[in-house]
């Protein structure tokens, strides 16, 4: 039973470590593959005004290859003529400005025709202070397609609130969001429409001030891709970041390296949480070892007393009990490796089914396994010294009398 307890602790700790390392590596890979070298934003709950103008200004910089602007809102949608609505995370984009920023893996999720599904690549409604024509184009994800039975060419109603008013959009294409949310009881829905149309739907286009109106053109962030000879040089990226910070002191400028550092800091917290849970389990396993060895010593009090009486040294007694404890720890740790491996696969599969992603979320490294195995043995050796010291410290006469 004690060996099983140690094996269970080892398996749990190993599973959580593999999942933690998998999440970290997956996040690193996504950031490193990203074509977004610079991100410009503001604090939560705010937005950048004059988004279109800022994008065009940045595109004129000699360091910039492309730039794109975005805004995300939570909008209501329903099937044409239906009274039952649902909610979707809706991203407003300028298709032809967004296409260069997508990685090949990201582009695979979208239709190939047009501007990854959109017929209009620009943002015509933005023209002349948001009085230009609407495209009424929307891309829906496969969850919406399945829920409403819609296909390309069908119509869908979209509104800012559940009670409307609703505007009828034409489905230009269907994409794979990679996040289904099937494991949390309700599916996640995603849509993409032209940025200016999203801004007008949500009141982030023009603000009326008395008898006048002001174009705010509010966006969430600006993504910038730098020229190849600049994006691969960390010092040049940092120089351009400083240039932007000096030009726009009220914005937050983040490089890809900044994102990596922030992500590693966040994952350190997650990893600490995982290891804390696994550590508690491991300490319980070690307590099992300590308790069982104390019980063994009590049952063998007469034997230990007789060994000491015939001249067996304290050191030998200490090493004998320590060796017995270590056999339990080593066997338990070794037996926990295989269930730890399969446990990590199960845990990753559960997370993937919950958030609906196809990403790899587990990383089982032999080096990490070996390191953890050694750490468990060292901890086992440390706690095993307690019963070993207790056995070594027994008084010979009291041991023999207690046995009688």
Q: Please tell me which residue, 297 or 315, carries the higher pLDDT value.
A: 315
Question: Does residue 187 or residue 167 have the better pLDDT?
Answer: 167
124-148: pLDDT as tens digits = 999 999 999 999 999 999 989 989 9
Residue 186 has pLDDT above 70, yes or no: no
**Each residue of 292-322: b (16+ CB within 10 Å) or e?**
bbeeebeebbeebbebbeeeeeeeebbebbb
| Cβ atoms 47, 69 nearer than 8 A | no
Place of tokens 């490089």: 255
Percent of the chain having pLDDT more than 70? 86
pLDDT digits (tens, 9 = 90+) for 259-275: 888 877 777 777 777 67
* Distance between CA atoms of residues 138 and 116, nearest Å: 11
Largest CA distance in the chain: 107
Residue entry with tokens 């966040």: 266
Reported as a pLDDT band with limits 50, 70 and 90, residue 82 is confident
- Is the Cβ–Cβ distance between 290 and 326 less than 8 Å? no
In the predicted model, what is the mean pLDDT of residues 212-221? 91
Pairing of strands 85-93, 190-194: parallel
What's the CA gap between 217 and 195, in Å, rounded? 10
Most confident of 5-14, 300-309, 377-386: 377-386
pLDDT over 80 (residue 309):
no
pLDDT in tens, 233-267: 999 999 999 999 999 998 999 998 888 888 777 77
Per-residue tokens: 348: 């990753």
Q: Is the pLDDT of residue 213 over 80?
A: yes
At which residue do the structure tokens 């320590």 appear? 322
Least confident span in 159-163, 223-227, 380-384: 380-384
H/E run at residue 12: helix 2-33
The residue with greater pLDDT, 63 or 323, is 63
Provide the pLDDT for residue 361: 64
Asked whether 324 and 293 are in contact (CB, 8 A), the reply is: yes
| Confidence (pLDDT) at 86 | 92
What percentage of the chain reaches a pLDDT higher than 90? 40
Q: State the DSSP H helix or E strand holding residue 236, giving kind and residue range, or none if neither.
A: helix 234-247
Lowest mean pLDDT among 154-168, 212-226, 312-326, 352-366: 352-366
Buried/exposed code over 241-275 (b: 16+ C-beta within 10 A; e: otherwise):
beebeeebeebebbbbebbeeebeeebeeebeebb
pLDDT mean across residues, the chain? 83
Q: Please report which confidence band the pLDDT of residue 284 belongs to, taking 50, 70 and 90 as the band edges.
A: confident
What is the bridge-based pairing of β-strands 252-255 and 85-93? unpaired
Judged against a pLDDT cut of 70, whether residue 11 lies above it is answered with: yes
Q: How confident is the model at residue 183 (pLDDT cuts 50, 70, 90)?
A: very low
Task: Indicate the helix (H) or strand (E) that contains 323.
Answer: helix 314-335
pLDDT, one tens digit per residue, over 310-355 is 777 778 878 887 888 888 888 888 888 888 777 777 776 766 665 5
The predicted pLDDT at position 185 comes to 44
CA angle at residue 188 from 185 to 189, to 5 degrees? 145
pLDDT at 179: 59
Distance CA 97, CA 112 (A): 16
Residue 353, pLDDT score: 61
- What pLDDT shows up at residue 184? 38
């Amino acid at each position: 039973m004690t060996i099983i307890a140690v094996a269970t602790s080892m398996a749990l700790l190993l599973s959580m470590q593999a999942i933690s390392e998998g999440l970290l590596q997956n996040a690193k890979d996504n950031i490193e593959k990203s074509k977004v070298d610079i991100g410009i934003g503001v604090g939560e709950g705010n937005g950048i005004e004059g988004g279109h103008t800022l994008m065009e200004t940045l595109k004129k910089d000699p360091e910039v290859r492309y730039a794109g602007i975005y805004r995300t809102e939570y909008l209501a949608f329903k099937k044409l003529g239906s009274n039952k609505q649902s909610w979707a995370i809706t991203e407003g984009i300028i298709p032809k400005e967004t296409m260069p920023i997508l990685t090949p893996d990201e582009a695979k999720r979208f239709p190939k025709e047009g501007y990854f599904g959109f017929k209009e690549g620009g943002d015509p409604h933005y023209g002349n202070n948001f009085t230009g024509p609407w495209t009424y184009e929307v891309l829906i994800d496969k969850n919406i397609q399945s829920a409403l039975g819609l296909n390309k060419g069908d119509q869908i109603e979209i509104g800012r609130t559940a009670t409307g008013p609703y505007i009828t959009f034409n489905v230009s294409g269907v994409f794979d969001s990679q996040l289904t949310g099937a494991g949390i009881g309700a599916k996640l829905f995603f849509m993409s429409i032209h940025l200016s149309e999203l801004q007008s739907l949500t009141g982030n286009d023009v603000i009326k001030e008395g008898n006048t109106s002001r174009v705010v053109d509010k966006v969430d962030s600006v993504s910038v891709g730098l020229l190849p000879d600049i994006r691969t040089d960390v010092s040049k990226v940092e120089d351009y970041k400083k240039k932007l910070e000096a030009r726009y002191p009220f914005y937050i400028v983040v490089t890809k390296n900044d994102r990596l550092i922030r992500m590693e800091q966040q994952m350190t917290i997650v990893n600490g949480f995982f290891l804390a849970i696994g550590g508690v389990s491991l300490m319980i396993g070690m307590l099992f070892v300590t308790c069982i060895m104390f019980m063994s010593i009590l049952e063998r009090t007469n034997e230990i007393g007789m060994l000491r009486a015939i001249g067996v040294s304290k050191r030998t007694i200490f090493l004998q009990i320590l060796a017995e404890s270590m056999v339990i720890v080593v066997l338990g740790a070794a037996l926990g490796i295989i269930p730890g491996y399969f446990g990590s696969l199960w845990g990753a599969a559960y997370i993937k089914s919950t958030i609906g992603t196809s990403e790899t979320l587990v990383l089982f490294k032999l080096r990490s396994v070996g390191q953890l195995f050694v750490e468990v043995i060292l901890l086992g050796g440390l706690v095993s010294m307690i019963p070993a010291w207790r056995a070594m410290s027994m008084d010979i006469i009291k041991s023999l009398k207690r046995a009688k």
